[in-house]
Structure 1
Amino acid sequence: MTLQDRHKSDQDSALSDHLWHLEEMRWTTGRDSAVAVRDASATAIHPDLLESNEIWQCRPADTVWRMVKIDTRAIKLQGVVAMLTYRIRAEKADAPIYHAICASTWFDDAGTWQRLSHHHTPLA
């Protein structure tokens, strides 16, 4: 491995850590925080296809999960686009434990990573 390859590997690792941090924050912070890291044309699929502001109209402000565990992580980086896929186990007060398979697409918009799409499929 050349010094240049090692530097790129370190950059990819730091970027990967940053994107996983942003993704986890989407589960554990409030709606206003989530809106701040999504693109204006974002799409969500869970279970209906929702466009941009429709996502937040159907989501209560208090949908903060108190604990999330993300397993089976995978990330694909391609230029300014990153796709994260994972399984999640999430808990919040007065609700059953939520299990799902998720995928999110992020893109680098002039140095700021924005979530462009998110999909989750609940598991029984």
Structure 2
Amino acid sequence: MADELWREEREFWLAGVAEAARRIDSACVMAFAQTGILDRAGVIAALQSAPRWQEVTMTARATVETDEVCLLAYHATARRPGAETYRALCTTTWIRRAGDWRILQHQQTPV
């Protein structure tokens, strides 16, 4: 299960807005240094107004799993076209809803 979610996590960073939005649970909360705490609608609006990531590398990975919840923690190094390299410590909590995995929580702390 964790390998599948690591692939999903990478795709969340790199996918288009519609595909990224499909992964976000209706109860999702995300926290970012630049935008603060966002609910699902706020996250989607932020995704629509920012260029998507071109590349992401996830290192120092840690995983905590249950049958219905999986927490991923990692150090992200990401790049967007024409921007400086972005580095952050991240956590994402995935929850299984009706057999599908959705993002319940995501947080980034720039380093």
| TM-score after normalising by structure 2 | 0.92
* 1:41 has 2:41 as partner: no
The ranges of structure 1 where at least 4 consecutive aligned residues each deviate by more than 2 angstroms after the TM superposition are 58-63
2:62 to 64, 67, 74: 74
SS in 2 for 1:34: helix
Give 1:76 deviation, angstroms: 0.3
Between Structure 1 and Structure 2, whose CA radius of gyration is higher?
Answer: 1
Paired amino acid for 1:67: E
Q: Could you tell me which residue of structure 2 aligns to residue 6 of structure 1?
A: none
Equivalent-residue separation in structure 1 for 2:40 and 2:13 (angstroms) = 17
Q: Which runs of 5+ in 1 are unaligned?
A: 1-14
Q: Could you tell me which residue of structure 2 aligns to residue 103 of structure 1?
A: 91
Q: How many residues align?
A: 109
Give 1:110 deviation, angstroms: 1.8
The answer to which structure has the higher strand fraction is 2
Between the aligned residues of both structures, percent identity stands at 28
1:52 to 28, 40, 43: 40
Deviations 1:3-60 (A, max 9, x none): xxxxxxxxxxxx1110000000011111111100110111110021111101122333
SS in 1 for 2:83: coil
